[in-house]
Amino acid sequence: MTTKYIFRYALAASLAVGAASCKKSLDLQPISDATVNNSYNTASQAEAALAGAYNTFVGSDYYIWDNIYTSDVRSDNHYAGGDNPDFFQYDNLTLTATNSKVYGDWSNLYNGILKANTVIQRVPLITDPSLAADRKAEIVGEAKFLRAYHYFQLVKNWGGVPLVTVPVTTTDPADINIPRASVADVYTQIITDLTDAAGVLPDSYGDASVNKARATKGAANALLAKVYAQKPDRDYNKVLTYADAVISSPAGYALVKYSDLFDDNHYNNSESILEAQFNGTTIGNWSPSLLLPPSITSTTWRKFITPSKDLANAFDSEGDVVRKNQTMLFEQAPWVDEYWSATINGVVPFPYKQRNLVNGNSTSRQYMLRLADIILLKAEALNALGRTGEAATEVNKIRTRAGLGNTPAASQAAMALAIEKERRLELAQEGQRWDDLVRYGRAETVMNALNETNLVTGQKVNYNMTVQKELLPIPQTELNRNPALTQNPGY
């Protein structure tokens, strides 16, 4: 009988065995989705996280074309087009906090920062022996470069912004409602990141198709030159140092024929320091389909960006045929353009620096950094430091390449204006103009002096530019989501 009882208890115990310890069973992971726990453990995963971070250059509206709106459309270079009222706010300097592009760009840039932050945080923890220490440091350097690049866009456009340098791991409002940092603090972070990056990145990875796709020491130095020039307390000695570091880089950066820059046959050329990489199919640039004329796009709706009369005049006043022809293409447009033609089928210029289009997709690139910009920055620094003669030498390198004679500017003041104009003609449609105007303190003067007439209404456009409009509004949606933020003055 006792044995009978033992049998009962034993049976019960054996039946219950499944329930005895299931603690391990609870530690499951998703099967078809990756998580932060299993995505950053190997060398190839480190590269994948980094590729994801670079993807922001080819996968976000900001770098595809919104930067042209933010800089060239907002300034005197281009008009807005298309049919979206939000887009015309850039052109007319009537931006509001609810503008969808402003919100989208803010979001794009912070998403890029998240991806860079993820690499910076996770990759150093990887213990996979096939990830060499050098490469590990490089990857972190590349990510820091990307983070700096995005923060530079943010601080130029919005001023002091929330400084986020580690990926969030909580939704606690105290942890995610981050207030704005000062402009100086953002620049300090950018310079720290770029200095770190320049310290570990190589001049070259070997092939040009890699060197122009990835951040290099040259790219970090070039961005440092731009950052030191743009920050409110600019340091032209530093600009000169970093510009020279780029110009004399072992990477061998050199000016190429101007038309080669945009003819889609010379990608990753030696003037390029960094450019967004497209293959036109799986990774395609869709903005040319929205910008190019009907003869190329086969679409007859109004395109979204139109070069301005003022820009065309600026080219003409210099007799700059080479660069004008690379920047705009004139063609009949089956719509009314307020500035160029009050009637249908008038001749209208189209943006032409990205001109390849196959099946609605393009391989054309934007230069994220290129040498001519750095040479002109060097000229700007030399001139600011009182070395106007040396500045002229640099400016003339650019003018000669464009088929123009030497600059007539002699005084320091005249040279400053000459450099500003040279930058405008050289870098039009490349997202540089607004920053130049702000840096030169000329945004108000230039925009309010513009003489643009709407041919449909017959009215001269009044831009009412103010110092406050130099910055974009903090997006209203972001203000709603983050009570710790404050709006920029004037919005």
Partner 1 sequence: MQKRITLFCTFLLASVFAYGQNIIVKGTVKDQKGETLPGVSVRVKDSDAGVATDVNGAFSINTAPNSTLIFSYIGFATKEQAVSGQTVMNIVLAEGNKALNEVVVVGYGTQRKGDITGAVSVIGKKDLDQRPNTQIGNLIEGKTAGVQVVSPSGSPSATLSIKIRGTNSINAGSSPLYVIDGVPAQDTRSLNPADIESISVLKDASSAAIYGAQGANGVVLITTKRGTTAKPKVELSAYYGVASVRKKLDVLNADQYRQLATDLGYSTDWTKYNANTDWQDEIFRTGASQNYQLAVSGKNEGTSYYISGGFAKQLGVIESSEMARANFKVNLDQKVNNWLTIGTNVAYTRYNDVSITDDTNVNGGGVLLGALTTPPNIGIFNADGTYASNPFQQWENPLASLYGSTRPYKNQRLLGNAYGEIKFTPDLKFRSSLGIDYINAVSDYFLDPYLTSYGRQNNGIARNETNLTNYWISDNTLTYAKKIGKNNFNILGGFVAQKYRYENTYIQTTGFSGNTIPTTNAGSVIGSAYNNKSEKFNNSIIGRVNYDYAGKYLFTANFRADASSVFGPNTRWGYFPSFSAGWRLSEESFLKDVTVINDLKLRAGYGIVGNDQISNSNYYSYLGGVSSGSNYIIGGNIQPGNYPSSIENRNLKWEETKQTNIGIDLTILNNRLTFSADAYIKDTKDLLQTYPVPRSTGFDFALKNIGTLRNKGLEFLVSSKNIVQKDFQWNTDFNISFNRNEVTALYGQQYFLNTISGRSEASLVTEGQPMGVFYGYIYEGVDPQTGNALYLTKSGEKSSSPSADDRTIIGNPNPDFIYGLTNTFSYKDFSFTLFLQGSQGNDIFNATRIETEGMTGPQNQSTAILSRWTTPGQVTNIPKASVNNTDNSRISTRFVENGSYLRVKTATLSYNLPKTIASKLRLANIRVYATGENLFTFTKYSGFDPEVNAFTSGNSANTNGGFGIDYGTYPQTRNLIFGLNASF
Question: Which residues ranging from 399 to 428 are in contact with partner 1 (CB under 8 A)?
Answer: none
Structure-block tokens of residue 338? 């307020």
Nearest by Cα to 437 from 449, 429, 446: 446
Query: In the bound complex, what is the minimum distance in angstroms from residue 71's beta carbon to partner 1?
Result: 21
CA 163 to CA 151: how far, in whole Å?
9
Among residues 127 and 282, whose Cβ is nearest to partner 1?
A: 282
CA 389 to CA 379: how far, in whole Å?
9
Window 36-65: residues binding partner 1 (CB under 8 A): 36-37, 39, 45, 47-55, 57-59
Pick from 41, 42, 114, 135 the residue near partner 1 by CB under 8 A. 114
Residues in contact with partner 1, shown as a per-residue x/- string from 212 to 231 under the rule CB under 8 A: -xx-----------------
Query: In the bound complex, what is the minimum distance in angstroms from residue 384's beta carbon to partner 1?
Result: 34
User: Which phi and psi angles does 453 have, rounded to 5°?
Assistant: -115, 130
Structure-block tokens of residue 330? 């004139």
- CB neighbours (10 Å) of residue 232? 10
Stretch that binds partner 1, among 104-112, 340-348, 370-378, 423-431 (CB under 8 A): 104-112
Among residues 117 and 153, whose Cβ is nearest to partner 1?
A: 117
Stretch that binds partner 1, among 160-168, 237-245, 308-316, 407-415 (CB under 8 A): 160-168
12 binds partner 1 (CB under 8 A): yes
CA dihedral 311, 368, 178, 197 (to 10 degrees): -140
Pick from 75, 118, 230, 272 the residue near partner 1 by CB under 8 A. 118
Consecutive H or E run containing 314: helix 309-318
Query: In the bound complex, what is the minimum distance in angstroms from residue 359's beta carbon to partner 1?
Result: 16
117 binds partner 1 (CB under 8 A): yes
Cβ–Cβ under 8 Å, residues 37 and 29:
yes
161 binds partner 1 (CB under 8 A): yes
Stretch that binds partner 1, among 171-179, 189-197, 349-357, 405-413 (CB under 8 A): 171-179
Question: Is the four-CA dihedral 288, 293, 296, 299 of positive or negative sign?
Answer: positive
Among residues 167 and 346, whose Cβ is nearest to partner 1?
A: 167
Stretch that binds partner 1, among 34-42, 68-76, 92-100, 293-301 (CB under 8 A): 34-42
CA 148 to CA 56: how far, in whole Å?
13
Query: In the bound complex, what is the minimum distance in angstroms from residue 242's beta carbon to partner 1?
Result: 25
3 binds partner 1 (CB under 8 A): no
95 binds partner 1 (CB under 8 A): no
Residues in the chain: 491
Pick from 3, 127, 170, 300 the residue near partner 1 by CB under 8 A. 170
Sequence-separated contacts (24+) of 382-391 with Cβ below 8 Å: 382/240, 383/412, 383/415, 383/416, 383/419, 384/236, 384/416, 385/236, 385/237, 385/240, 386/412, 388/412, 388/415, 391/415, 391/419
111 binds partner 1 (CB under 8 A): yes
3-class secondary structure per residue, 97-163: CCCHHHHHHHHHHHHHHHHHHHHHHHHHHCCCCCCCHHHHHHHHHHHHHHHHHHHHHHHHHHCCCCC
Residues in contact with partner 1, shown as a per-residue x/- string from 239 to 278 under the rule CB under 8 A: --------------------------------------xx
432 binds partner 1 (CB under 8 A): no
CA 377 to CA 230: how far, in whole Å?
10
CA 280 to CA 216: how far, in whole Å?
24
Pick from 33, 127, 129, 451 the residue near partner 1 by CB under 8 A. 33
Among residues 121 and 241, whose Cβ is nearest to partner 1?
A: 121
28 binds partner 1 (CB under 8 A): yes
